[in-house]
Structure 1
C-alpha cells in the first residue's frame, strides 16, 4: 500500500457513485480500474456516462465473467454495488444466488481470490439480509453465503443496513453496506481479540465499526444474536441446509465464521427534503401529467391486498399500504427506481411548487436526490429513460463519501501494523 494513495478497483461501476463518493472523501483514493457492462444492451449508456465523467480512469466495458481477473491492477480496496435485481422486492420470482445476476457474486469472489485486496466495500439492497425471503424456508441464506465465502477467503466483515435519510440525505433509500477486512489487517486482529469477551464489549466493537461508526444508540442496539457459519461443512452444504429463524439483523460482525448481530436505531440527523431539490415551473412539459395519467397514478398509489404462494407452496397474505399522492415536499424522497419516469406505483409525483401542476421529477432532480451533480448523466446518445434508469440503480454519493472518510482512517492504521503486508507480496492464508 502506498503511503499517499489508496488504490481502488470498482466492479459494476454504474455511472461512478463509488468513484465520486470516495474521491469526494479524500484525494488519497485513486481508482486504478473499473468495469461497467450491462447485459443484453446495445447502448452501454452507463459505461458511456462513466467514461465521460472520468476520462482518465482505466474503465472497461467488458462482461465481468469474461474478464481476466489476474490482469486487473493490484488494489488496496475493492468496491462494488453488485447487481441486485434478483434480491429486489420490485422483482418477481427472485432467485437469489441462482438467478441470472445473482451468480455475479462469484465473479467478485474470483477477483478477491486473484488480487486478495486488504479491504472490500460492497453495497446491495436491504432485502439481501432476508433473501431469498422471510416466507421461504431459508431466510437470509444469500447474505449468509456472502459471509461464509468471505470467511473462507480469510476476511472479517462488518455490515449495516442504512437508510440514507436517517443520516441527513434527501432519499429514504435503504441499502446494505458490507465492509470486509483481510486476515492480516489490524482491524481483523483487533476484532479477533474482542470475540469471546462479554456481550457489551462485542456490542461496543460493532458500534465502533465502519460503515458509519459511532452512529448507533447503545440502549437500542438490542441483544446480540450469535450464528455459527461453520456448522455447515461446505458451501454446498451451507446452500442446501442453512437455517435462520428470521433473517440477518440490521448490523453485525463476522469473524472466522462466528456472527454477532443486532438491530439498532441510528442517531438521526435532520434530512434534506424534496423541497430543497424540486425546482419550480419545470420547463419540460413532458414532465406534467395529463388528466388520464393523473387518474391512473391515483389508482396505483392506493392500498392493496392479495394472496401469494411461495416456491415451496406456502400460501401467505401480501399487500401494501397507500403511497402519499402527490409526494410531500417536506420529506425526503422515497427510494428511486429504474422506472421513475413511467406511470407506475413507485414513481414520484410532485406538485410543482411554482404552478401547482402535478408532474414527475426531472432527470436533474433525480441526480440531486442521489447527491450527484446536476446533469451528471446528460450525454449525447443517452435518453431521459436511460438517465432515470441509472439513477434508480445508483448510490447516494455523499453517503459513500462519509463511509469513505472512515475507511481512509482504517487503511492508514495499517502503515504501523507489523503483521500487515502489501497485496502484491503477501501469501494467502489457507483455510
Structure 2
C-alpha cells in the first residue's frame, strides 16, 4: 500500500508551506485542491506566489465562507493553518448552531462534514491551547471547542505544541500542531484501545505523532484527563467549559475524552542565524540610518508603566527588553508580518561581513522558515509582501518531518474510502 497516493486539500494555503513540506516528505502526497484568500486586500499576493510555485495545482482565490464545500474534490487529508479567534457559539432556531462571525474554524468544520477525510492536519498559534487566555474565566475553551467539534464529527485527535528551534530549525517559532483521524481508521482504534490504562496512555504520549521522539529523557508531566462529554451540546460547552490553566502542551482525545500532559523537548543541534545571514548584503535599504538605529534602541529597550482599568484599578504594565542587535549565535525569534518595519519585533542583525546594523533580507526571512531563497520573488510582489507572507508561514521542514510520520500511518489504511455513520457521528450544526 505504500505507493498509494494521499490526496490532500489545503485551506488557508498561504504561499504553500504545507504543500512544499508534504512534497518534501513524500512524492505520494498529491495536493488536489487549495484555497488562499486574504480578506480586504485587492492585491492577492500570497495566492499569486502559490500559483507561481505550483502552477499545476487546482488552487482557487475565493473567500472560503462562500465556497460550496460539496464541490471541493474528494480528499484523504485536509490541511491548513488558521487564525486563533473567539470560538464562542450560540444558537438560533432558524440557523442552528453558529460561531462568531468571521471565525474560520467553522468553515474547516463544514469542509470536514462535506468531504469526511480520513486525516486532518492543522496548525495554529501556541496560545490556542489556553485561549481565550489564562486570565480569562475559561482558559482552553477555544481548543476544547475544536476537540469537542471533531469528536462530534467522529474523529480522534493528537496534538503537540512545538518550538521549531528545539528540533534544529533556525527559528524559535512555537506552534500547536493538530492531527485528527476518522473513527474507522486503525490509528483511531489504537487510541481507543489505550484510553483506559494510564500507564499505556503516558507511554503512548511519549512517542506520539505529530512529531514523535521529541521528549527529553521521555520526561512528561502529570497526566490530566478532561471529559468533553460532560456538556450536553456545543452551546453548553461554550458557556460552561472549565479546565484549570487550559490544555497542556501535548495529548490526545478519543471518544470525547482528552488526556494531556506537559513535556520537555529533546533539543537537537541548533541552527543559528549565523548559518542564515549572508555577509555584506548588497541591498543598501536594509542598513539602518542613525535615526532608525536610535528608534530601534528605544523600542527594544523595554518599558514599565502603570495603567488604569475601566473600573479605576491601577495595575503594572510593561514589556521586557529584546536583544539589540539580535544574536547570530541563536536561532531567529518568531518571524512577524511587519518584519521590515521599524518595530519592536523586527530582527536587526550586525552584518557579519561589514559590521553594520541592518534588517534581514527577504531571502533570509525565507531561509528562516526553511523555504528556498527566492520562493516569494516574482513580478508584482513587493519586499513588504514577501516579509508579510513569511510572517504568516510555516517552518517547511517541520511540516516535512510530521508529513513523514503521517505517511507511515496512512500506509496502514486503505485510502479513498468514503465513510458515513449516522449512528455514531453526531451532526454539530443541526438542531
Give your verdict on TM over 0.5: yes
User: Contact conserved, 2:337 with 2:387, CA < 8 A, in 1?
Assistant: yes
Map Cα deviations across residues 360-392 of structure 1 (whole Å, 9 max, x no partner).
100000000000001100011111001000000
- Tell me how far 1:180 sits from its aligned partner: 0.4
3-state SS of the aligned residue for 2:263? coil
3-state SS of the aligned residue for 1:414? coil
Q: Does 1:206 align with 2:170?
A: no
- Tell me how far 1:2 sits from its aligned partner: 9.3
What residue is the counterpart of 1:396 in the other structure?
A: 395
**CA distance, structure 2, for counterparts of residue 374 and residue 71 of structure 1:** 35
Map Cα deviations across residues 253-295 of structure 1 (whole Å, 9 max, x no partner).
1111111110001111012110001011111111011111101
RMSD in angstroms over aligned alpha carbons?
2.1
What residue is the counterpart of 1:90 in the other structure?
A: none
User: Contact conserved, 1:115 with 1:423, CA < 8 A, in 2?
Assistant: no
1:31-430 counterparts in 2 under 5 A?
A: 31-84=31-84, 86=85, 95=86, 103-197=103-197, 199-217=198-216, 219-306=218-305, 317-415=316-414, 422-424=416-418, 426-427=420-421, 429-430=424-425
3-state SS of the aligned residue for 2:370? coil
What residue is the counterpart of 1:89 in the other structure?
A: none
3-state SS of the aligned residue for 1:43? coil
Q: Which runs of 5+ in 2 are unaligned?
A: 90-98, 427-431
- 1:336–1:313 CA distance, 2 compared to 1 (3 A): farther
TM-score normalised by structure 2 residue count: 0.92
**CA distance, structure 2, for counterparts of residue 344 and residue 290 of structure 1:** 14
**CA distance, structure 1, for counterparts of residue 74 and residue 374 of structure 2:** 33
- 1:36–1:322 CA distance, 2 compared to 1 (3 A): same
User: Contact conserved, 2:192 with 2:254, CA < 8 A, in 1?
Assistant: yes
- 1:394–1:100 CA distance, 2 compared to 1 (3 A): farther
- Tell me how far 1:200 sits from its aligned partner: 2.0
- 1:127–1:317 CA distance, 2 compared to 1 (3 A): farther
Q: Which moved more, 1:104-113 or 1:134-143?
A: 134-143
Q: Which runs of 5+ in 1 are unaligned?
A: 87-94, 416-420
- Tell me how far 1:230 sits from its aligned partner: 1.3
TM-score normalised by structure 1 residue count: 0.92
Q: Which moved more, 1:98-107 or 1:225-234?
A: 98-107
